[in-house]
Amino acid sequence: MNTDSHRKELLRKLSRNLMVSVPVMTVVAMAGVSAVSEHGLGLIPSAEAAQGEAEGEAKGEGEGEAEGEGEGASEAMKEAVRRPEGYEPYDGDAESLARKGEALFNDTSLSSNGLSCATCHTNGAGYADTFSNEYPHFVAMGKSDFGMDKVHLDEMVQICMAAPMAAEPLDWDSEELAALTEYMRIEQEKFRKR
């Protein structure tokens, strides 16, 4: 994806801030977790919360762990993952958006680190239990890395673009964002039926 220099600068700041957390989250999401957490590594709050949740041990703890931490993304990136003023999502046919969203979900070119959403989230993997909740809702990574008490689904797509994918958030009015958001809505329905 081509970027102008402002966006590049945002990305650089973010990568600096999340240099530690991204590989950790990758391990958490991909490796089935247990080996790491049993040794109680001092992980950043989001990874810790996600890790606990992923193991089903931290029911109800995610919130407490993540709160009060001012760590995470740069101010610029915190703003970039929030819905902008006067936000109007791309308006398209839901079915065609879902199809495009599925392709994007598997597309490693969306990230700067070779990952796709599917790397972490195939078959409902990698989510905390909060994914079942009605949006907007509390998400540990949203709070710990971006200071958000609640996130909308499109903001969650942007958060995963910015943090684990180490990329810039998508354009807010883009078809890509609408497509991924629609696809994630369908993924959420499946997740709820687990």
Q: Could you list the residues that contact ligand HEC (CB under 6 A)?
A: 25-26, 28-29, 46, 49-50, 53, 110, 115, 117, 119-121, 126-128, 130-131, 139-141, 156-157, 160-161, 164-165, 180, 184
Phi, psi of 151 (to 5 degrees): -130, 145
Residue 137's beta-bridge partner residues? 151
Q: Which is nearer to ligand HEC, 86 or 157 (CB)?
A: 157
Kindly state the smallest distance separating residue 32's Cβ from ligand HEC, in Å. 13
Residue 151's beta-bridge partner residues? 137
Only one residue has tokens 């936000």, namely 87
3-class DSSP assignment, residue 151 = strand
Q: Which is nearer to ligand HEC, 72 or 126 (CB)?
A: 126
For residue 46, which amino acid is it?
A: S
Kindly state the smallest distance separating residue 125's Cβ from ligand HEC, in Å. 9
Q: Which two tokens stand for residue 83?
A: 């819905």
Kindly state the smallest distance separating residue 51's Cβ from ligand HEC, in Å. 8
Q: Which is nearer to ligand HEC, 5 or 32 (CB)?
A: 32
What sign for the dihedral angle of Cα 32, 49, 42, 74?
positive
Q: Which residue is nearest to ligand HEC (CB)?
A: 117
Distance in angstroms (rounded) separating the CA atoms of residues 31 and 142:
22
Kindly state the smallest distance separating residue 46's Cβ from ligand HEC, in Å. 5
Q: Which is nearer to ligand HEC, 49 or 178 (CB)?
A: 49
